[in-house]
Structure 1
Amino acid sequence: MEEKMCGIAGILNKNNQGVTEDLILMLSCMHNRGPDGVSIQVGQNKANSLESSESSSPYIDGRFGLGHVRLAIVGGQLGRQPFTSCDGRLTLGHNGEIYNYKQIRNSLKPQHNFVSTSDSEVILHLLEEKLAQSATLVEALTKMAKVLDGVYSIAVKDHKTGEIALIRDLLGVRQLYYSEDPQQVTFASEQKAIWLLGGNKSVRRVMPGHAVIISNGGALREYRIAEPPRALNPNKKKFRYNTLEEALTAYKRALILAMKKRTQGLDRIGIIFSGGIDSVLVAWIAKDMVNEVICYNAGTLDSSDILFADKVAKDLQLTLKVNVITKRSTQEMLPKIIHAIEERDAVQVEVALPIYSAMALAKKDHVKVVISGQGVDEIFGGYPWYPRIVETEGYASLRSHMIEDLFLLYKETLEREDKTTMAHGIEMREPYLDKQIIRTAFDINPKLNIIGPNDLLGKRVHRKLANQLGIPKEIAYRNKSAAQHGSGIHFIIDEIARENNFDENRISSGYLRELEKRELLGSSQRYGFKYGNKELWLTSPHIQMYLDRIFESVFGKSSTIIDTSDEEDLLTSKIIKKI
């Protein structure tokens, strides 16, 4: 695959006014997502520079433009997006990676003219093929989604009908945002690219597994195009794997394959490494697949995560680099982190900070890909409140809640971590969210992962496999603190807030009510807020007020995502009902 992580942006002007200047502005503010190249297409004119004078095909301004910034992992200049189909009907931009693109390419090659070895171009020709077999663009997109194995956000223009489609993968691993006003529809990989155009723009997410279709006149409709595997049926009573031996064999096979997909062609990778079993296991497997594996961590000097990660890395002979976080470095990073993750929520900021700091080290090492351990708790039952669900509601209810958690992962974790790593021009990959791993995990009898209401460890199959592969028991069966507490970050931010005169005395009853409203659209949508320790989600109001002020200084008071909470509530209910 010639290009991997990147950023896309586009504009459709409803009043037939030119969009080039605004599109260039949007792409410029996402330079971190594509430091290795930029391309822009307005109408039928394409240029590989933001300066039209440098282009062999100068811009002819038009009412629709699509742009792309590129992070090159492997390959050369032929992978520059946007791509146009053989018949000229489709123009496509893509952010993500497709793991079965070679197989798809081989099946399409006899009928299509490929100009690159890019997975993005494969998506284009696949859609071109499906569109020829379909009555509508939505039907073609649905057929395409069934074939793709990977993570993606896609923008595609159908020049025949004038329609534009914005598409997101099933779990929402790669984000895409859009906004509409009386003048135009804009979309981008990051909200700040839309906010930059000014005005009080209401930004919405393209929902996971959905396509937003924009008509030639600018009207918007939303469709579900990707369906979850049958293994995720919450009412499932019969399981494929009912013994530990069966489960371990299936999981090992799926995990090794998922790691191979995400490390192929790479000579060096990084690991976001906390010392917890999820990151330890991918590091342990990766060292046999890649020549150089470097683990990265960050935290205060005496934090539990740093101390344990250092011990684990030494015991397992893994290379670990640590960025020690101080009060001064935290003060310097906070505005940068808020700018990167486009969030003011204190928990989101506190979790992002050690990763942001660790990725600064990875950038110095010229690492372009890091592996994350995200997703294990959702699919193997690792959260500490899961046993309480077993006790009060039973295993069947637990399964439903785990599925809900999986399909809300995009909102609280995936978007934040993508932006945090991409702020340094580094792509994050999530092997535990591989399609086959998810199928396997939900085909395992949940009693193998949580052995009863008193099981405070959970994810037993995952831990057992780690031990089976050679990781010592004391590492495989260790419990771990939440990121912001294990790294020591929370206490530093609390101290900084107080030094800036943000303390309990500044908190009004009105502000507390505002925080309650925010929470209704945030973590409380996850049932763990009800059954678990609310302190994992809530923070001191004076810290939140301090971060609010930083957010406003970075983006302005009017810049805020309009949360699509109604659709998000429907997202999991639609999935459950559909299965």
Structure 2
Amino acid sequence: MKATIAVLSKNDDSVTELILNTLNSISLKHTPSHYGLITPKGNYSHKSPYLLEQQAAHSSIAIGYTSSPKTKNSYEIQQFNESSLLFEGNIFSSKLNFASPKNSKDPLGYEKSLETTLEQSDGNYTLLLLKENCIVAGRDPIGINPLYFGENREFIAFSTNRKALWKIGIEKPVSFPPGNLCFTYKEGFKFKKVKTLSLRESTSVPLNDAAEPLQILLLEAIERRVKGLKKVAVAFSGGIDSSIIAFLAKKCGVDVHLLHVSLENQLETEQAIEAAKLLDLPLEIHLFKESDVETTLPLVVDLIEDPDPIKASIGVPFFWLAEKSFEEGHKVLLAGQGADELFGGYQRYVTEYLKEGAEKTRKAMFDDVASIHTSNLERDLKIAGFFDLDLRLPFASYDLADFAVNLPVECKIEHSLNTLRKLVLRAVAKNIGVPDSIVDKPKKAIQYSTGISDSIKKIAKKQQKTIKDYVNELFEASKSNYS
């Protein structure tokens, strides 16, 4: 499991021991780890946090990171003149390239390079830059990779999970805003918005006119995310989102393996089998029992660091997907997160459209996309990270998302209670040759289609608790291990 933490001491005390002890406490609960420590003047690494502490220079500002031995090279570290950069994630559209400002008198000499990365790069990433008495943090414009921040009387800190911040006494970590840079000194945080989604004035666009550029953007997003790969796994339900991803990935020439998980005796499994046959792609099916839900749920709540019952119920089947991907040797998993928010996949959008009209519905969809990093993406990236799995999300490509959020509602849902939803996405699927039976399949949420939600209800009822109380109890038990 990968984890990163950057700490700045408000009292000029050394933070190296604190960082290593924190990372060690997290890794002990999960998998054996490789440790790294970065200061403005150097970077160090070792399998043992104790030997690393002896090796590294003490500093009042530092970054620590940990990962499994097989993924210890998944970070990119650049060392400059009394400053250091840690990059974690993927850039699909360009290379990470910072020019050293060693001749610059500007104390924020890297600012322009960091801004350029956020402005021009399609990817999922976080970055942390150390200079003397300053941490600069950044996150991709959609907020795909998790990043949190907070402070107390002694420290200001950033981390890719909440556990590390809880461990050093920051009780309420905040999710870092996507597409921002943050310049951090002892006095506090200074945020600079660089690139974020915006909702522009609505214009009328015929469905077919919207489908053509969307098709180009989708193909481009998938091509970038499979470039250089020989094989890739696709989280597969047999629905429109996963079928389009699988279909286009196959068109890109990569060896596509479909993965499907569910409880036993669910109708969606039969639909996934039929869809895989129509797409002529190999399908790996993994079925679970209700007892597996009860075993998995505490692990999921621990990983997602959140007591929300809906997030936990969605996290269970995704945990199984990530686990099976790992066991079968897949390194990259493609998934369809974001499609529901972008294209009107939820029934509540239809309800709002009928009740409140197009503009309020369009704004509701935009708000859901703008907050998707906290509602969905952080959960799934943390689960994938636990299994050292590279989760890539084509629908979370910035250019695609920017195009989709600004489409009129009429391109996504009809003004009818029985609308299919995701109309423009279905038009793309039909245009590229996805079989009609897949194109016309209604949407059903994963926690319901896999049977997970009902199972959690039964488990909670068995313990004479509501779902909310049951999941919250699991969360508090997990959090107590890191407080």
Same fold (TM over 0.5): yes
Instruction: Verify the 8 A CA contact 2:232 2:331 in the aligned structure 1.
Output: yes
Q: How is 1:385-424 mapped onto 2 (pairs within 5 angstroms)?
A: 385-424=348-387
Secondary structure of 2:347's aligned partner: coil
Say which of 141, 145, 148 aligns to 1:174. 145
- Asked if 1:18 corresponds to 2:11, the answer is no
Say which of 4, 7, 22 aligns to 1:8. 4
How far, CA to CA, are the matches of 2:472 and 2:53 in structure 1? 46
Instruction: Verify the 8 A CA contact 1:70 1:80 in the aligned structure 2.
Output: no
Q: Deviations over 1:34-64 (max 9, x none)?
A: 9885421235232121537867992122212
Match of 1:203 in 2: 173
Aligned residue identity for 2:460: A
- The answer to which of 550-559 and 130-139 deviates more is 130-139
Q: Deviations over 1:150-187 (max 9, x none)?
A: 2222111123xx22122222221112112311122222
Match of 1:69 in 2: 66
Secondary structure of 1:396's aligned partner: helix
Aligned residue identity for 1:420: I
Match of 2:196 in 1: 228
- Asked if 1:151 corresponds to 2:116, the answer is no
Aligned in 2, Cα 1:394/1:554: closer, same or farther, shift over 3 Å?
A: closer
Secondary structure of 1:208's aligned partner: coil
Say which of 300, 308, 330 aligns to 2:293. 330
How far, CA to CA, are the matches of 2:360 and 2:35 in structure 1? 48
Secondary structure of 1:271's aligned partner: strand
Aligned residue identity for 2:79: T
How far, CA to CA, are the matches of 2:358 and 2:391 in structure 1? 33
Q: Deviations over 1:73-115 (max 9, x none)?
A: 99x96x7543213xx143111222112224xxxxxxxxxxxxx
- Asked if 1:458 corresponds to 2:443, the answer is no
Superposition deviation, residue 387 in structure 1: 3.1
Secondary structure of 2:237's aligned partner: coil
Instruction: Verify the 8 A CA contact 1:68 1:81 in the aligned structure 2.
Output: no
How far, CA to CA, are the matches of 1:412 and 1:443 in structure 2? 21
How far, CA to CA, are the matches of 2:217 and 2:31 in structure 1? 31
Superposition deviation, residue 133 in structure 1: 10
Aligned in 2, Cα 1:32/1:375: closer, same or farther, shift over 3 Å?
A: farther
Aligned residue identity for 1:233: L
How far, CA to CA, are the matches of 1:473 and 1:366 in structure 2? 32
Instruction: Verify the 8 A CA contact 1:271 1:296 in the aligned structure 2.
Output: yes
Q: Deviations over 1:113-158 (max 9, x none)?
A: xxxxxx3xx2xx15x4699597856963445422333222211112
Superposition deviation, residue 346 in structure 1: 1.2
How far, CA to CA, are the matches of 2:322 and 2:380 in structure 1? 11
Q: Deviations over 1:173-205 (max 9, x none)?
A: 1121123111222221011122234x4623222
- Asked if 1:84 corresponds to 2:79, the answer is yes
Match of 2:303 in 1: 340
Aligned residue identity for 1:148: S
How far, CA to CA, are the matches of 2:202 and 2:479 in structure 1? 49
Aligned in 2, Cα 1:237/1:547: closer, same or farther, shift over 3 Å?
A: closer
Aligned in 2, Cα 1:556/1:19: closer, same or farther, shift over 3 Å?
A: same
How far, CA to CA, are the matches of 1:131 and 1:458 in structure 2? 56
Instruction: Verify the 8 A CA contact 2:93 2:123 in the aligned structure 1.
Output: yes
How far, CA to CA, are the matches of 1:388 and 1:360 in structure 2? 36
Q: How is 1:305-454 mapped onto 2 (pairs within 5 angstroms)?
A: 305-442=268-405, 444-454=407-417
Q: Deviations over 1:7-45 (max 9, x none)?
A: 421222222322222212333325899988542123523
How far, CA to CA, are the matches of 1:195 and 1:91 in structure 2? 25
Say which of 265, 278, 298 aligns to 2:228. 265
Aligned in 2, Cα 1:98/1:493: closer, same or farther, shift over 3 Å?
A: same
Q: How is 1:241-280 mapped onto 2 (pairs within 5 angstroms)?
A: 242-280=205-243
Instruction: Verify the 8 A CA contact 2:222 2:394 in the aligned structure 1.
Output: yes
How far, CA to CA, are the matches of 1:290 and 1:353 in structure 2? 31
Secondary structure of 2:157's aligned partner: strand
Secondary structure of 1:82's aligned partner: strand
How far, CA to CA, are the matches of 1:304 and 1:327 in structure 2? 16
Say which of 90, 93, 105 aligns to 1:100. 93
Quote the sequence identity (%): 23
Secondary structure of 2:89's aligned partner: strand
Secondary structure of 2:56's aligned partner: coil
How far, CA to CA, are the matches of 1:50 and 1:219 in structure 2? 35
Aligned residue identity for 1:548: N
- Asked if 1:550 corresponds to 2:477, the answer is no
How far, CA to CA, are the matches of 2:8 and 2:53 in structure 1? 24
Instruction: Verify the 8 A CA contact 1:38 1:80 in the aligned structure 2.
Output: no
Match of 1:507 in 2: none
Q: Deviations over 1:345-388 (max 9, x none)?
A: 21111110011012211111121211111112222222223233
Secondary structure of 1:186's aligned partner: strand
Aligned residue identity for 2:347: P
- Asked if 1:42 corresponds to 2:5, the answer is no
Aligned residue identity for 2:61: F
How far, CA to CA, are the matches of 1:248 and 1:6 in structure 2? 38
TM-score, structure 2 normalization? 0.90
Say which of 246, 263, 270 aligns to 1:283. 246
How far, CA to CA, are the matches of 2:438 and 2:79 in structure 1? 50
- The answer to which of 205-214 and 331-340 deviates more is 205-214
How far, CA to CA, are the matches of 2:262 and 2:256 in structure 1? 20
Match of 2:182 in 1: 212
Aligned in 2, Cα 1:135/1:360: closer, same or farther, shift over 3 Å?
A: closer
Aligned in 2, Cα 1:254/1:463: closer, same or farther, shift over 3 Å?
A: same
- The answer to which of 168-177 and 219-228 deviates more is 219-228
How far, CA to CA, are the matches of 2:10 and 2:331 in structure 1? 39
- Asked if 1:51 corresponds to 2:48, the answer is yes
Aligned residue identity for 1:238: T
How far, CA to CA, are the matches of 1:250 and 1:72 in structure 2? 42
Aligned in 2, Cα 1:295/1:475: closer, same or farther, shift over 3 Å?
A: same
Secondary structure of 1:385's aligned partner: helix
Say which of 164, 167, 171 aligns to 1:193. 164
Secondary structure of 1:398's aligned partner: helix
How far, CA to CA, are the matches of 1:130 and 1:62 in structure 2? 21
How far, CA to CA, are the matches of 1:53 and 1:493 in structure 2? 41
Number of aligned residue pairs: 481
